[in-house]
Each structure stands twice: as C-alpha cells, then as structure tokens.
Chains A and B, each alone.
Chain A
Amino acid sequence: MARNLQRAGELAFAKMEKINSEVLTLTYGSIVAQLVKDYEDVEEVNKQLEMMGYNMGIRLVDEFLAKSHVGSCQSFRDSAEVIAKVGLRMFLGVSATVSQWSQDGNEFSLVMEENPLHEFVDIPEHLRGLYYCNILCGVIRGALEMLNMRVDAQYVRCKLRGDAHSEIRVKLIEILEDQYPEDDE
C-alpha cells in the first residue's frame, strides 16, 4: 500500500499552530550558548543536547501520532521514511531524504539540506567539535524508543562544519518487546 508521505507531511504541518522559525532558531541558539557556558568540554555539550532531545522525543511522539494520521509502520524502512517526510516536516517545516541503507536494512542516513536551527549560526574555532543540532539525534532516538525501536543516532556530516549537507546516521540496535505492567490483583 503506497502512502503519499510527502502529502501527509504537508497536511500535518498545515494543521499545526505555527510560529516564526526565527523564534525557534534564536531560542535554540540561546540554549546551546547556555550549555557551552555550563560545560567546558564540547563532548559534554553534545551529550547534553542529545539527552535533551531524547526527553523531547519521548513526549513529542504522542503529538506526532495524534496529528499525523500516519498509521503504524510496517518496517524499519517505513519508519525511516515517515521520520523524514512527515515527522521532520511537521515539526520543523522541512523534509529530509533517506538514503544509504545498509545491506541488512538496519542502518540508514537521514540527509537534511535545510534546517531552521542552523540559521545565523557560525561555530567558532574553539568549538569545532560541537554537533550543534545534536538535539535532533536525541529526538529521533527518544521517539523511536517509544515505538519499541532502540536506535543509535549520530551526526556524521554537518553543514555548520563545512560539509555540503547535514546527515544523521540511524542504526537499529534492537526491537523492544512491548512492556506490559505486572499483573496486580
């Protein structure tokens, strides 16, 4: 059953209450600046951003499911396309493309040409190791975990670091069993 995910993404985005992207951009920048101030080590900032993203992802997925009307994904491949075409579109207003699937179908790359979080950002030399948008890796990890997929998401290319585009590599680690609460009498 072919679904037009692009269209689903547009529709979902159209329904969301919206704000000027610059509010998000500047607020995110302010938050990253705060983290950089609080932690001396750039790796630690990357970690914190990922954790914040994870916390956001586990809550955001509910809104996603409620408003996107996408229905359940049949496979990891399906999930990847849904994230790229519907999820990102719905929340950030931009789509991504899915590419470079591994042989076993457990790894893919999410390629983003545009990212509203990148506007106005210039990373200084001494923060070269910073993955500015690492929060997105956390969001993906958190959201997928709520859908019973434990993944690892890492930035492998970043436009802010001089690469041509931004790319997140997502790797499926395991499918989790549904957790049922213990029977209490």
Chain B
Amino acid sequence: MSARSIYDRPLRRPRQEVSLSSFAFLFSEFIQYSQKRIQTIPELEEKLREAGERVGVRVLELCTLRERATKRETRILGILSFITTVVWRSLFGRQAEALEKSAETDDEYMISEREPLFVKSISVPKDLGHLSCASFTAGIVKGVLDHSGFPARVTAHHVPTDAQPLRTTILVKFDEDVMERERSLA
C-alpha cells in the first residue's frame, strides 16, 4: 500500500486564502530574527533577498506549470512580462504597476509599485526603512530570473513621492551573458 505523498496532490486547486496579517506577523518576526544575525542594513537586505529567492524558485515552477506554458521564455521582455503579470497576479492578486526599460543602459529594467503588498502591511522601526520588505520581493524576482536562464542582479529601491510615499522600484540588471544572448536573438 503506497502512502499518499505530497506528489499525489493536484497542483490545480481552487485558490485558498489566509489573512494578510498572518503574513505580516510572520514576516515581521523573520526580520527581527535576521536582524540579530547581521551587522549592517545591506546585510539584512541580502538575507531578505535570499529568503525571497527560495520563494521565487518555487513560484516559477508553480506558475509555469499552471500556465501550461509549452515554451520557455528566451527573450528578456518575455520573462519580465511573465513576472509582472503571471507571477505578480499569483502573489499579489494584480499585475505590477509598471515595467520600464532604463534610458541610460540597455541591461537595466525597472518594475515599479505604488504600494507594494509586503511594505504596506509591515511596520518596521524607522531606522530600517522600507527597503527590507521590498528586498524580499526583489529576491523573489531574482529567484525567478536566475532559474529561467536570466541571471541578474536585482535590488529594491524606495523612491517616495509626495503622492506615493511607499513607491518602490525593483531594479533588474541582467548579466552580460544574458545581454549577449539577447543581442544574438534580436
């Protein structure tokens, strides 16, 4: 008799929900935990990015499977589009607000959010700023990119405006290998 393992459970299930505050409390606690093990804020952001990457890898698998994608993305705009629509909808219930290409360099792209989900719900001490939470999201993006063949440096930046005090940009800088491939495919 074989035991029913997790591999037997269907992946396509009706969407289940939990309260946002469960996530907020958990995430907040994780930040506290991480803070005890680092010395500087960039190190904290790195820890959060790493945590996000582990999520990104799995989100990539889940979303790809559910989208029944028959071809994998090979172009930059393709994968970024996948992230800002499919992945974002899966995680946040809506598409990313904006995806832009940098005017200055051709290997940089920006994903912008007026009020990122994670940042909105967490209240961290003033000295940590908003970057902590967005770093987690940046990690998720990095996880997806690195594991779909688009290695990149991904960082989060708080870019508040008067109208949008929580505005955040996730900056993606693709590795040279990716750019070379992109150029040859053009």
Contacts and interface: CB of A to CB of B under 8 A. Distances in A.
Interface of A: 13, 16-24, 26-31, 33-34, 38, 48, 52, 55-56, 59-60, 63, 90-93, 116, 119-122, 135, 162
B22 A52 contact: no
Interface residues of B, number: 38
A21 B19 CA distance: 8
Contact of B27 (A17, A27, A59, A120): A27
Contacts of B6: 119-122
A23 B21 contact: no
Contacts of B51: 27, 30-31, 34
A10 to B, nearest CB: 13
A116 B25 contact: no
Interface stretch (B30-38, B72-80, B98-106): B30-38
20 contacts: A13-B19, A16-B21, A18-B18, A20-B16, A22-B91, A24-B18, A27-B27, A27-B30, A27-B51, A30-B54, A31-B30, A34-B50, A34-B51, A52-B33, A60-B25, A91-B19, A91-B21, A92-B22, A122-B7, A162-B3
Contact of B93 (A20, A33, A52, A63): A20
Contacts, number: 107
A18 B25 contact: no
A16 B20 CA distance: 7
Contact of B91 (A20, A34, A55): A20
B52 A30 contact: yes
Given A90-B19, A122-B6, A22 B25 contact: no
Contacts of A119: 6
Contacts of A48: 33
A90 B162 CA distance: 35
Interface stretch (B55-63, B124-132, B147-155): B55-63
Interface string B3-44: 101110000000111111111011111101110010000000
A60 B21 CA distance: 8
A45 B21 CA distance: 24
Contacts of A92: 18-19, 22
B117 interface: yes
Given A18-B19, A60-B25, A91-B21, 15 more contacts: A17-B19, A18-B20, A19-B19, A20-B17, A20-B91, A20-B93, A26-B55, A29-B54, A29-B55, A56-B25, A56-B26, A63-B21, A122-B6, A122-B7, A135-B26
Contacts of B62: 22
For A48, A56, A93, the residue with the greatest tally of chain B CB atoms inside 10 Å of its CB is A56
A38 to B, nearest CB: 7
A77 B63 CA distance: 43
B26 A19 contact: no
